[in-house]
């Protein structure tokens, strides 16, 4: 497959064709996300023999890992939007320039984050409410994650390049290989199997870094050999292109940071005072189960980002709208199934990860409560990704920051003030989900993403007609 594989998209797609495209792109992304969730599931499962303190440590580090991703997404989200726009309009040289600039900037940026994170790991563990043995385990795991962060970061970067190209199968295949390698390396490096040294929690982190870095390298080779994009390796660093990438990606990074920062604050102020059982229950419910169901909702959402970016690049506004709405329907449908599963068999699913009765009770409670806003989460996430694909990320960041910040005092009030304990925290998360959905719908309606610039209303200064990714 050579450079001619990047051609302008055809217009005039029917509703059925748009739904077919949405499904074709969504299912590999969903499987990719499920496979990526396998990293956390793998770690949560294999550290189980290290004891409840190790399980609780995984809960402490979960939202720090999400915070790490928020920094990575400054590059990865911008790359997806820029590559999608250029590939939709058939601009091969611009695609290569974007990829080359992103890879060089990513190497520097990911290394800097890793260094700063490694130096400040104890601080972040304390901020998340860690103390005693769980904190020791958490520091061992998290400090090693920061050492291998450049390897970890390149996997989502290369994935987003493929998504921008409209190819969702290659990231799925790379993820399948990566998670399989991680599943083999995890027990070997944690417990010292097959001649490896027993490294405990550090082994789980090394396994993640090695498996992701190896498959990111395979992705680079695939871009060169099979997609005719090897020229990006020789491209000079383009400062103007980096500015465009960051302009789109920075608000997304703030958005993800707000989410993780909210949970870190809630862990510190509301969850930690309730003890290790609640911490471990959250780890099992979030890492082991919700991270999997979330993937099913995010697959169509990410497909919407790719469709919107490429269709707007081709100036196909109607095609962008039809494809995006098809993705929204797929995401909501999956969310309804996930909610039913959490309500009906949440406890049984949690028992796959723990046999401690107290931890099991807490995990089941968490799943039963958050099930009530799964549909709201799916709708919010898909609208968010539509904005990302269009490069309209600033308003999205406003919603995320405000919506997540309000969760912190509500969680404390429901839990401590009203005496609802852990249940109050989880209901506060639901309140935040509903508020965020209402706000993002308001912004989305004003943006007129799928209206040609000449037809947009000009009476609103917050409704620019210029496409920010062009």
Q: What is the pLDDT of residues 1-23, one digit of tens each?
A: 444 456 656 565 677 888 888 88
The pLDDT assigned to 148 comes to 93
Q: What is the mean pLDDT of residues 68-79?
A: 87
Q: Output Rg (C-alpha) for the chain, integer angstroms.
A: 22
Give the pLDDT confidence of 415-451 residue by residue, as tens digits: 998 999 999 999 999 999 999 999 999 999 888 888 8
Burial degree of 347 (CB within 10 A; 0-12, 13-18, 19+): middle
Query: For the chain, which residues make up each domain, given as ranges?
Result: 17-455
Position 454 scores a pLDDT of 67
Measured CA distances, 465 to 86, 442, 469 (Å): 19, 18, 12
* Greatest CA separation for the chain: 69
Whole-model pTM: value is 0.79
What number of other Cβ atoms are within 10 A of residue 243's Cβ? Answer: 11
Q: Residue 453: pLDDT above 90?
A: no
* Whether the Cβ atoms of residue 61 and residue 205 lie closer than 8 Å to each other: no
- Reference 310, options 453, 168, 156; nearest CA is 168
Residue spans of beta strands (DSSP E) within 136-260: none
Mean pLDDT of 219-244: 81
Structure tokens at 281: 């229950």
Express each pLDDT in 287-343 by its tens digit. 778 877 888 888 999 999 999 988 888 888 888 899 999 999 999 999 999 999 999
Q: Which of 115-119, 439-443, 464-468 has the lowest mean pLDDT?
A: 464-468
CB-CB neighbours of 173 under 10 Å:
18
- Tokens 């000079």 correspond to what residue? 236
Integer angstrom CA distances of residue 65 from 205, 285, 318? 11, 16, 38
Which residue, among 179, 316, 158, 268, has the nearest Cα to 222 in the 3D structure? 158
Average pLDDT, the chain: 85
Ramachandran angles phi, psi of 89, nearest 5°: -95, 5
Degrees (nearest 5) of the Cα angle 468, 73, 112?
120
Q: Are 210 and 66 in contact (CB under 8 A)?
A: no
Q: Give per-residue pLDDT as tens, 327-337.
A: 999 999 999 99
């Amino acid at each position: 497959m050579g450079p001619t594989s990047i051609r302008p998209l055809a217009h005039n797609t029917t509703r059925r064709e748009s739904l077919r495209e949405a499904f074709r792109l969504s299912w590999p992304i969903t499987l990719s996300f499920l496979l990526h969730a396998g990293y956390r599931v793998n770690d949560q499962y294999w550290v189980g023999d290290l004891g409840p303190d190790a399980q609780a440590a995984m809960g402490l580090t979960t939202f720090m890992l999400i915070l790490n991703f928020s920094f990575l997404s400054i590059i990865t989200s911008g790359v997806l939007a820029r590559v999608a726009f250029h590939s939709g309009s058939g601009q091969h040289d611009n695609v290569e320039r974007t990829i080359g600039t992103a890879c060089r900037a990513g190497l520097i940026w990911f290394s800097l984050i890793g260094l700063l994170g490694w130096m400040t790991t104890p601080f972040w563990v304390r901020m998340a409410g860690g103390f005693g043995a769980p904190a020791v385990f958490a520091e061992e795991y998290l400090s090693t994650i920061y050492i291998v962060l450049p390897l970890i970061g390149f996997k989502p970067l290369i994935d987003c390049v493929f998504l921008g190209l409209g190819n969702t199968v290659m990231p799925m295949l790379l993820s399948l290989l990566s998670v399989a390698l991680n599943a083999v390396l995890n027990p070997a490096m944690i417990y010292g199997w097959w001649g490896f040294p027993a490294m405990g929690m550090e082994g789980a982190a090394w396994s993640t870094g090695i498996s992701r870095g190896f498959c990111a390298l395979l992705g680079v080779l695939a871009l060169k050999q099979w997609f005719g994009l090897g020229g990006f390796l020789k491209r000079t660093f383009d400062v103007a292109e980096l500015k465009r990438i960051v302009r789109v990606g920075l608000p997304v990074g703030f958005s993800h940071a707000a989410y993780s920062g909210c949970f870190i604050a809630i862990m510190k102020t509301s969850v930690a005072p309730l003890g290790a059982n609640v911490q471990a229950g959250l780890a099992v419910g979030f890492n082991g189960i919700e991270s999997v169901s979330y993937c099913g909702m995010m697959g169509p959402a990410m497909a919407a980002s790719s469709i919107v970016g490429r269709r707007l690049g081709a100036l196909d506004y109607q095609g962008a709208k039809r494809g995006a709405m098809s993705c929204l329907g797929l995401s909501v449908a999956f969310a309804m199934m996930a909610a039913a599963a959490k309500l009906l068999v949440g406890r049984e699913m949690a028992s796959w990860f723990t046999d401690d009765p107290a931890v099991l009770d807490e995990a089941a409670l968490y799943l039963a409560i958050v099930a009530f806003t799964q549909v709201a989460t799916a709708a919010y996430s898909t609208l968010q990704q539509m904005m990302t694909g269009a490069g309209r990320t600033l308003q999205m960041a406003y919603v995320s920051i405000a919506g997540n910040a309000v969760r912190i005092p509500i969680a404390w009030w429901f839990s401590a003030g009203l005496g609802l304990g852990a249940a109050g925290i989880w209901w506060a998360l639901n309140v935040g989900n509903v508020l965020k959905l209402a706000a993002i719908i308001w912004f989305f309606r004003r943006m007129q993403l799928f209206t040609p610039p000449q037809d947009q209303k000009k009476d609103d200064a917050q409704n620019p007609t210029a496409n920010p990714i062009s």
